[in-house]
Amino acid sequence: MFKSFLTIIQHEIRVTMRQAFSWITPLLFFVIVVSLFPLAIGPDETLLRKIAPGIIWVAALLAILISIGNLFRTDAEEGYLDLLLLSPHSLTLLVCSKIFSYWFTHCLPLILVSPLLGLLLNLTSHEELTLIITLLLGTPVLCLLGAVGAGLVVGIRGHGLLLPVLIMPLYVPILIFGTGAMMAASLHQPLNGYFAIMGAFLLVSLAFAPLLTGVALRIGVNQ
């Protein structure tokens, strides 16, 4: 089973890397959105540091949101999703491999480029370290929750804003604690509580989201 898990991950990563637009588009969106704020606001370093947490986290959230809807859509159009649903292997394990592959190819580049954008927003090294940790804890949660919504709408053509309406309320808590941790870092306040809560969100999402995504896929495919 573990070998099947690794095989699917390798396959998904290779396929995504061949379709460069699928992971470059969210990355460019993230970079452009964050870069536009210093140009619009001006060289006020104090103001940029104050609003940097909200800018980076909202940009990361939107970058994931515009691409998570395609997590299962291509597989459904090509019939590969039907094979996954009929596979003798655990659907939950297969869903986990898809979500991990998505995070590795779409979210990890955002995390790697975020320190450079932090310099653009005049963040200190302590704030940048906090940013990286919060993104490492928060982006998997966004992917796991987004996968549930993507499974529900996989059988709906032209779903438009349906997916954001479904999953945006679920994104609010992680957005609040992600930005809150960065604001606490700027004030040199303790961060352990924020990291603990975000870690709890991650563990709960890992426990329930793949199972719910499998159920959502069966519902979405039959629509």
Domain ranges in the chain are 2-220
Q: Which amino acid is at 193?
A: G
According to DSSP H, which parts of 19-44 are helical? Answer: 20-41
How many whole angstroms from its chain centre is CA 158?
Answer: 22
Sign for the CA dihedral angle at 125, 130, 131, 132 comes to positive
Can you give the pLDDT at residue 217?
Answer: 85
Assess contact for 142 and 64: CB atoms under 8 A.
yes
pLDDT class of 18 with cuts at 50, 70, 90: confident
Asked if the model's pLDDT at residue 53 lies above 70, the reply is yes
Entry pTM: 0.90
